[in-house]
Chains A and B, each alone.
Chain A
Amino acid sequence: MKIAREEVLHVAHLARLSIDDDAVETFSEQLGSILEYVESLSRVDTSNVPPTAHAVEMANAFRKDEAARHLEREEAVANAPKAEEGHFIVPKVIE
């Protein structure tokens, strides 16, 4: 079952992916069959199963409120495509 073309474009936009027309066609089929596959889970009766919040059965992993070493500024920006005076530089985006 294919999903709608608009939905593929919407999801692509949310992920900031640009895809061409052929890919839209492919993805509407692939995403559709993925959804269909996952949908098979709904055939299982879960009425007596408590919701699972996490794959690992544990809770409360905490850290103490104590400062530890952070990166040097040069290290922090080392991978940035552009940096100036210790700032990351990005194209201007005003929301």
Chain B
Amino acid sequence: MEFAPVIGLEVHAQLKTRTKIFCSCSTRFGAPPNTHVCPVCLGMPGVLPVLNQAVVEYAMRMALATDCRIAPESRFARKNYFYPDLPKGYQISQYELPIAEHGQVNITRPDGTRKKIGITRIHMEEDAGKLIHDPDRSISMVDYNRTGVPLIEIVSEPDIESPEEAGAYLRQLRAVLRYLDISDGNMEEGSFRCDANVSVRPKESEQLGTRTELKNLNSFKFVEKALAYEINRQIRVISENGEVIQETRLWDMDKNRTFSMRGKEEAHDYRYFPDPDLVPLKIDEDWIARIQADLPELPDQRKDRFMAQFELPAYDADILTASRELADYFEACLRQVENPKLVSNWVMGNLLGLLNAEGKTIEETPISAEEMAELLKLVNDEVISGKIAKTVFDEMVASGKSPKAIVEEQGLVQVTDASAIEAVVDAVIDRCPNEVASYKAGKKKLLGFFVGQVMKETQGKANPQMVNQILKEKLG
């Protein structure tokens, strides 16, 4: 029997407001424990939470960017449970009336086609504190700096049909959050977290199977690996006439498997109710229009523009717009060098190659957009060849020198003087009578050999198009 996976994702994104959602404590990451706390986020009796307006506006940005309908009236609810990371004994969240519902994002599938993934809802809530479990003693240490940091939870429809689609969806959400400048979207640091609901159903059936919930998926790679593992596990269970149990499973990155989180079988009973400390949130059309007018260009729009304005292939546009910083870098280069495909090839090839090899992001690039533009201008103006440019690029990374300085110091300026190239071509033809004879007898592939010889003679500096042309003329 063939099975089809059905996947829905719940993403928690930390918003990068300056202060917490219900109090004036700083949200800055990395402060000493319990230094960004106050009576409100510590859950002292008698305090009142007051909603941070910026949190609402950040959530509205995300809602509009994902085509959600923003609720004219929403409210906050208490989600009751006891755990030491939550000093009040409840988390303030949104339940029956979230700020936004019924949206969608577009993803690009591995085969290049686009697909819509529905967004069920987006709601605002407060983050919990951080527990450090003592390895030697039976105690846990609690740091409440993170308590009350604003989150939005983005719940997808079960429209995702493979681990690769899940990865594409997450990357797209992250790109949108970062373009909107409302979240760092850093999975490893926990500012972007993902839980997955997954089930499998026989291909010919519409009936959904029992789902499991996967947690502890703290990198894009783990999400895809854990889903692939879990899908196979469920198929195996069903094929062996077993039954998939509805449960929470954790990803074990060392053993590359998911395992059941036992002891939590008891169904949660959160007893949500409207938080009487917070008044309803009303959002009118004017406010929505103001936020809409303020939205930046989003990844999809920028991708379409790159294809239309710069005539780039979809593949290039997709990669270049994956992060706002990379797209900005590309456009900064283009302002100096009006050759989009040349810039695109260099940014995607040499630059991203270098960054990936060193595990760096575009923000940490050793070659600024200005330096890259200077180098590519030399190529575009045919001062140096593309091949020499690669040598110069490596030297720029190694020494930090400017491309012009490197080209001058090492005498790498391209030879475009026809008579100088002709002289070298003549010398090569004289030296290789056998190859010349073969070429003339029809072995046209040998042209590459001659080009190679001329380039070697000129240390790669001869203009390759001119070398080709002159060789063809001379060899007849």
Contact = CB atoms under 8 A, between A and B. Distances in A.
A46 to B, nearest CB: 17
Secondary structure call for the B interface: loop
- Enumerate the 5 nearest inter-chain pairs by beta-carbon distance, A residue then B residue, closest first: A68-B24, A87-B141, A65-B54, A62-B53, A88-B142
Contact of A63 (B34, B51, B132): B51
Interface residues of A, number: 37
A88 B313 CA distance: 56
Interface string A48-91: 00000111101111111111111101001100001011111111
A91 B134 CA distance: 10
A59 B282 contact: yes
Given A92-B139, A93-B140, A70 B50 contact: no
Contact of B139 (A16, A59, A61, A90): A90
Interface stretch (B37-45, B159-167, B449-457): B37-45
A95 interface: yes
Given A65-B17, A65-B53, A66-B24, A84 B141 contact: yes
Nearest to A16: B82
Contact of B50 (A14, A59, A62): A62
Given A65-B55, A66-B24, A67-B24, 11 more contacts: A53-B73, A58-B279, A62-B56, A63-B24, A70-B38, A73-B35, A76-B35, A77-B34, A87-B142, A90-B140, A92-B138
Contacts of B260: none
A54 B32 CA distance: 38
B273 to A, nearest CB: 12
A94 interface: yes
Interface string B231-263: 000000000000000000000000000000001
Interface of B: 17-19, 22, 24-26, 32-39, 42, 50-56, 73, 75, 80, 82-84, 131-134, 137-144, 263-264, 269, 271, 274, 276, 278-282
A11 B83 CA distance: 17
Nearest to A79: B44
Interface of A: 10, 14, 16, 53-56, 58-71, 73, 76-77, 82, 84-95
A53 B36 contact: no
Given A14-B269, A64-B53, A92 B80 contact: no
A94 to B, nearest CB: 6
B34 A86 contact: yes
23 contacts: A16-B82, A53-B280, A54-B75, A54-B276, A55-B276, A59-B280, A60-B280, A61-B278, A61-B279, A63-B24, A63-B52, A64-B53, A64-B54, A65-B17, A65-B53, A65-B55, A70-B26, A73-B33, A76-B35, A76-B144, A89-B142, A91-B139, A91-B140
